[in-house]
Structure 1
Amino acid sequence: MEGNVRYLTEYLRGATKLIIPVYQRNYDWKKENCKRLIEDLITLEKEQKKTHFFGSIVVKPGDLSQEIIIIDGQQRLTTTSLLLLAMRNWMENQQIYGERVNPNNLEAAYLVDSFSREVDNYKLKPNPRDYKAYKKLFKDEKFFIKNSNITANYEYFYSQLEKISIDLDMLMNSIEKLQVMVVNLNSPEDDPQLIFESLNSTGVDLTDADKVRNFLLMNEKQEEQQFYFENYWEPIEERTHFQLSTFFRDYLTLKNGKYPTIAKVYETFIEFYRINCETKKTLFDELSDYSFAYQQILEASTGNHKIDSILNRFNELQVTVIRPFVLAILHDFNRKEIQSDEVIDILTILETYIARRMIAKIPSNSLNKVIATLYRDMMKIERKDNITLKDILSYILLSKTNTAKLPDDQDVIEKLRTNDFYSINSSFRTYFFERLENFDHVEALQIYQGIKAQKYSIEHIMPRHLSGEWKSELGKNYLHVQQTYLNRLGNLTLTGYNSNYSNKPFKEKQTMEKGFKDSHFVNLNKIPANAKKWGEEEIILRTEELSKIALKVWPYPETNYVPSSQETEMFVFDGEQRFTSYKIKGYSFINDEYQVVATWKEFFINIVKQLAENNLNPMIELSQIDSQNGLEGIFSKESGTDHSEITEGLYVYSSLSNWSKMNYIRQLLDLYKIEYDSLLIDAVLYDNKEV
């Protein structure tokens, strides 16, 4: 590696072909960056400064002798080229030239290699998408690609040439003062990937997808880079709607059975690649297959109406946490490993699981742990005796407890009767009422589109602001009725009438144009359309009727699957289980190796020892605190009757109830910043009590 400071124009003049490789991200300098450059150039001239440092450029030799590959610095090179090209075109179009600069000498010196025999003899070759737009800038304006950042910044520079306070010669004089540190990677020991990551650890952040692309393509020959980019990477980008970082996170979740931390998707991918990928081509083939499934998720486009309807509802509901599981199901469907009816059953059960939890207002933070292993859990159970995937999935979800549980009918009805269904997440609110209305419709009403177009709205029947007529109709307890039932399910409906009429008396709402009697929302407005008045009794009645519909829309799953004792799954620790009525058989922790234990005490001591092997210091610090409470109260530097040795000079109090053992394990995992789901517990129930 060698580096030296060069004038940028001098470097451009001496170059013949500057190639920005396909693994580089698209040109992304914004108008603000270009404005700052223009301001700096004007300041250089006005203050008569001799130089201006413009950053670094890292390059390596290309496959051909005249080629230079840009590892870092493409933003500066491209922006400068756009400014020079704007000057060239502006002078040519306006027939205005400087004493030193004119269209011909700018083009010959900095923009085009006039000795090249290639059709595209431009000195700068951006990555493929940007290159299309860049080439058009040398031609008639009517051919410009307007939706490109390349074109946008070129047009900004072009527009500024009439406005700036210095002339063209002065502007060129300032451009010639720009200096860059040019770093040449000309040794076989120079690792472009490591250098690139180091250089990009500051400044404009690369996305995880940028880093993955660079990792996969950077060290390939240009021909191979082009092949992988054109046949794999670019189509995958388009299929995933350029949500590649999210796609990789969902893919890795599916493969590893665990959500990678948002900040560590790239690191997780590198580890996955080195352990699991035999060849790059095999990986790209698999990523391509999964990207088709991802496209189907985003666009609800499998071609099966029932599947696509469910996918569309998931998208409207914005429950992206389920995508790793859905990705796996659609991938299998595309490979004809499962049939369309099975997919419909699976997605219907998943929808019921999500909807019932949202109705019951169960926090969603435990969902990622359920979803991360759900496909793996479902597929590892052997199907026999006419047991279907529907049976297996139902069994798995029905087995979930605590914050991962599937609410039963009693839980759901209770929440439907008492919860606020107005002041909730707007996506879920629209989904909820759309399902209640469109259930069993031969032809579904376009409620999502109607809400977005503001043709429909979710309104209160008894309004938020009571008129004298409403108070009279509700009776002397009107204030209690309003405060209790205003946002309850029975008082909310979909309407097509103008929300300005929402405070009108009930009879007027009932009979007006697009009112309850005129409504095509037959499920939701059947009772309001026929009621003689509106008050507490009617709201309660309607709540019960809509609750019955809800239980049909999201029915509690049933299953014919009963696991044998050998197939009983291990519990994924969620920080809340206490196992007060369970006998432990074994566990898996950190290294995923199954450990057989005879007692909960042995299990507790083993977990503490494994954590100590990982890092002893936190336990030593706890043992030095003089306290009888919390974690610090169970660690000691001295042995005692009820203490167990962890390592020489460190003991833990182990004569604890199961409740206390699991509580301390949870606290230790928090202290060591280890995910709860890293601990799997193999335990069997003594009786029918729950965890």
Structure 2
Amino acid sequence: MKIEANDKEIQDIFSLGYFKIPRFQRPYSWEVDEVESFWNDVVKENPENYFIGSMVVYQSKKPYFGIVDGQQRLTTITLILSALRNAFLKIGENNLARGIHKYIEKANIDNEDEFVLRAETSFPYLQSYIQSFDGLKLNCEVGSEELKLKKAFDFITKKLIESIPELSSLIDNQSQPSLFTNHDTAIVQQLKAIRDKVLSLKLVFIQLENEEDAYLIFETLNARGKDLTTPDLVKNLLLKKLQSKSIALDKAKEAWNTLTKQFDGISDLDVLGAYLLHYWMSKFEYTSDKALFSKVKLHLKNDESKANALIIDLNESASHYCRMLKPESAVWKKEERDIKRLLESLNIFKVKQQSSFVLSLLRAYYSQKISLKNLKTTLIKIVNFHYCFNAITKQRSSGSIATKYSSLAIRLSEIEDKNDFQPILNDLTNFLRTKRPEEDEFVVKFSELQYLSNITKFKSIIRYTLNNMLPTAENGLDINLNNMTIEHIIPQSFIGNGFKEEAVASIGNLILTSEDVNSNMLANKSPVEKIKLLKSISYPLEKAVINSDDWSTETVNKRTKEMASKIYNELII
């Protein structure tokens, strides 16, 4: 491997040729705080010839380079130069604007204009909205990367105006006064000073011979502590194994882009990393996030067919994982509504141990390897166990639960016939029963559940608990978690007036009612009046474990224990 390293300024680098962010690189990922830190370093506090680190490239053909390391900084510098160019244009300095634009776009050997930095994943947003000299605004969907670019560019424009406040009124003014054709004005000099600071930034320019070396360096940089995630490395590995055979269509890269787009509506920071881990645990073996890349690399070796099969299956399984993470956004048949509700319950509990097995269950159901009845039965057991184990008693697993789920998921992924599922279900049932907390512990922890307007830690679990104690409909009373509010039988206004806070806040003092009943009927009435009114509307008091018209602290404590015992013994595992 031949490596050349030289100190260079940004203006020299941008004059070398054209830079492409290659297919294995992640998209633009800087948040506003990272952009602000970079701005402060290179503009606000920048001494002469400020050093910003290294940049690693490989040359595909002259004068075109692929970027291995440094794309976040190079992209951000392009955003700064574009904002400076726009400022020059707004104040009528067209020549200065064109002078800086040559570092953004310039003519190639065929005398055709070409952007110095090419980022395919952000096309056409970066090119049209930011890099383009004429600012042609195309209608295009703003995805996650484009949104980061937009926020970064808007922030840089804002910081530029903060640095030169006089720009604000001039930028808002659409006319271009001839006053600023004088290059000696203060605003022009300040803009030129920022421009010169940016163009004089120094870095170590490291050039490799070919793309093959680039893949290797990409992995090595991660091993040396660079901020690359498991998805970055898996993407790099798959695209390395599946080299494109077509100039017009890079199937592997498109497959990866299709995969990531499935998670666009999910706000979890590392949803793709979590998916890759749970997918692997549902198909191959239990592992940790840190070890996952090594496992994938060992599995693929030099087998292109395995890489192709993996990226196809990752795409197919992703839809099931999204269904699991956001059941409220998925389309369900009428007979599948209970599945949606059960998946929503697991999300309320905020547990992940079961993810590999639930993914395998959904995959098996939609490939018709298990029935809807078996899917529902299994999910009920899983939900009830984690309600007891995680939501109420707050147990922490040593890893044995996630390991067991993984082994069951792998077995499930290998079945061919619906009859093969029963031994897996039996194994799951026996395992969950051995891990289930005892009733005494459940009752003690259940009694700690409290809710007031200023005590909301357990609100979602209390809503879930109270909702599950009631029928879906009773005498016309709509009992739906999304349409119900928590009502205190002893009103919160009674605290200090014969009742202590812990009694009023206790789950034994709580019920679910509709918003209308809560606000207009019960309000701040006494407990005796409330119970009388609830009877008048045929509220299911018996199912809610309200067996007394007299309501006191002792009644609340008694009801709490009765609720806990009833719930524990009705949990199907």
TM-score (normalised: structure 2): 0.76
| Structure-2 separation of matches of 1:79 and 1:243 | 25
| Deviation digits for residues 152-204 of structure 1 (CA, Å, limit 9, x no counterpart) | 2222333344443652322232233212211111168x732332233345676
| Structure-2 separation of matches of 1:75 and 1:111 | 15
| Structure-1 separation of matches of 2:99 and 2:219 | 37
| Deviation digits for residues 303-357 of structure 1 (CA, Å, limit 9, x no counterpart) | 2222222222222222222110011111112222222222122222222332343
| Deviation digits for residues 475-503 of structure 1 (CA, Å, limit 9, x no counterpart) | xxxx8xx97x767654332354369x998
1:106–1:457 Cα change, 3 Å: same
User: Helix, strand or coil: the match of 2:363?
Assistant: helix
User: Helix, strand or coil: the match of 1:59?
Assistant: strand
| Structure-1 separation of matches of 2:449 and 2:563 | 18
> CA offset at residue 66 of structure 1?
4.0
| Deviation digits for residues 215-239 of structure 1 (CA, Å, limit 9, x no counterpart) | 2224654667963455321222122
User: Helix, strand or coil: the match of 2:154?
Assistant: helix
Alignment of 1:77-156 (within 5 A): 77-96=74-93, 102-107=96-101, 109-115=102-108, 121-129=114-122, 131-137=124-130, 138=132, 139-140=135-136, 148-156=147-155
Contact 1:57-1:72 within 8 A present in 2 as well: yes
Structure 2 match to 1:540 = 558
Q: Which amino acid aligns with 2:54?
A: S
Of 143-152 and 231-240, deviating more is: 143-152
Alignment of 1:174-213 (within 5 A): 174-186=197-209, 191-201=213-223, 205-213=227-235
| Structure-2 separation of matches of 1:347 and 1:442 | 29
1:302–1:3 Cα change, 3 Å: same
> CA offset at residue 140 of structure 1?
4.3
Structure 2 match to 1:10 = 12
Structure 2 match to 1:238 = 261
| Structure-1 separation of matches of 2:441 and 2:210 | 71
Name which of 516, 521, 540 aligns with 1:522: 540
Structure 2 match to 1:55 = 53
Q: Which amino acid aligns with 2:274?
A: T
Contact 1:26-1:127 within 8 A present in 2 as well: no
Of 420-429 and 75-84, deviating more is: 420-429
Contact 1:519-1:525 within 8 A present in 2 as well: no
Contact 1:60-1:186 within 8 A present in 2 as well: yes
Contact 1:60-1:71 within 8 A present in 2 as well: yes
User: Helix, strand or coil: the match of 1:113?
Assistant: strand
| Structure-1 separation of matches of 2:115 and 2:472 | 61
| Structure-2 separation of matches of 1:133 and 1:399 | 53
> CA offset at residue 371 of structure 1?
1.6
Alignment of 1:534-683 (within 5 A): 534=552, 536=554, 540=558, 544=562, 547-548=565-566, 551-552=569-570, 554-556=571-573
Establish whether residue 405 from structure 1 lines up as the match of residue 435 from structure 2: yes
User: Helix, strand or coil: the match of 1:148?
Assistant: helix
1:18–1:538 Cα change, 3 Å: closer
> CA offset at residue 207 of structure 1?
1.9
| Structure-2 separation of matches of 1:170 and 1:160 | 15
Contact 2:463-2:512 within 8 A present in 1 as well: no
| Structure-2 separation of matches of 1:275 and 1:443 | 64
Structure 1 match to 2:73 = 76
Establish whether residue 373 from structure 1 lines up as the match of residue 374 from structure 2: no
Q: Identity of counterpart residues, as a percentage?
A: 19
| Structure-2 separation of matches of 1:490 and 1:222 | 64
Which structure features the higher share of helix residues?
Answer: 2
Contact 1:494-1:521 within 8 A present in 2 as well: no
Structure 2 match to 1:619 = none
1:536–1:439 Cα change, 3 Å: farther
User: Helix, strand or coil: the match of 1:121?
Assistant: strand
Unpaired runs of 5+ residues, structure 2, are 165-188, 451-456
| Structure-2 separation of matches of 1:422 and 1:379 | 39
User: Helix, strand or coil: the match of 1:10?
Assistant: helix
Contact 2:59-2:210 within 8 A present in 1 as well: no
Alignment of 1:229-308 (within 5 A): 230-240=253-263, 241=266, 243-258=271-286, 260-274=287-301, 278-300=305-327, 301=330, 303=332, 304-308=336-340
1:382–1:126 Cα change, 3 Å: closer
| Structure-2 separation of matches of 1:442 and 1:238 | 45
| Structure-1 separation of matches of 2:253 and 2:479 | 39
User: Helix, strand or coil: the match of 2:368?
Assistant: coil
| Structure-1 separation of matches of 2:476 and 2:223 | 54
| Structure-2 separation of matches of 1:445 and 1:201 | 57
| Structure-2 separation of matches of 1:502 and 1:179 | 68
| Deviation digits for residues 456-488 of structure 1 (CA, Å, limit 9, x no counterpart) | 2364648696555x46xxxxxxx8xx97x7676
> CA offset at residue 245 of structure 1?
0.3
Q: Which amino acid aligns with 2:229?
A: T
1:382–1:22 Cα change, 3 Å: closer
Name which of 529, 541, 549 aligns with 1:531: 549
Contact 2:285-2:406 within 8 A present in 1 as well: yes
| Structure-2 separation of matches of 1:95 and 1:443 | 71
| Deviation digits for residues 79-124 of structure 1 (CA, Å, limit 9, x no counterpart) | 1111111222222233135xxx6222322x2122324669883221
Q: Which amino acid aligns with 1:169?
A: K
| Structure-1 separation of matches of 2:476 and 2:308 | 46
Structure 1 match to 2:461 = 428
| Structure-2 separation of matches of 1:252 and 1:216 | 15
Return the index of the structure with the highest Cα Rg. Answer: 1
| Deviation digits for residues 599-639 of structure 1 (CA, Å, limit 9, x no counterpart) | xxxxxxxxxxxxxxxxxxxxxxxxxxxxxxxxxxxxxxxxx
1:141–1:509 Cα change, 3 Å: farther
Contact 1:59-1:71 within 8 A present in 2 as well: yes
Structure 1 match to 2:486 = 457
| Structure-2 separation of matches of 1:359 and 1:87 | 53
Name which of 361, 366, 378 aligns with 1:334: 366
User: Helix, strand or coil: the match of 1:522?
Assistant: coil
| Structure-1 separation of matches of 2:416 and 2:436 | 23
Establish whether residue 507 from structure 1 lines up as the match of residue 509 from structure 2: no
Q: Which amino acid aligns with 1:328?
A: S
| Structure-2 separation of matches of 1:359 and 1:40 | 46
Structure 2 match to 1:474 = none
User: Helix, strand or coil: the match of 1:24?
Assistant: coil
| Structure-2 separation of matches of 1:286 and 1:275 | 18
TM-score (normalised: structure 1): 0.64
Contact 2:283-2:413 within 8 A present in 1 as well: no
User: Helix, strand or coil: the match of 1:58?
Assistant: strand
Q: Which has the higher contact order (CA 8 A, sep 6+)?
A: 2
User: Helix, strand or coil: the match of 1:91?
Assistant: helix
User: Helix, strand or coil: the match of 2:469?
Assistant: helix
Contact 1:59-1:72 within 8 A present in 2 as well: yes
Contact 1:21-1:69 within 8 A present in 2 as well: yes
> CA offset at residue 294 of structure 1?
0.7
> CA offset at residue 210 of structure 1?
1.6
1:130–1:519 Cα change, 3 Å: farther
Contact 2:488-2:504 within 8 A present in 1 as well: no
Contact 1:359-1:412 within 8 A present in 2 as well: no
> CA offset at residue 8 of structure 1?
1.5
Structure 1 match to 2:192 = 169
> CA offset at residue 9 of structure 1?
1.0
| Structure-1 separation of matches of 2:217 and 2:193 | 36
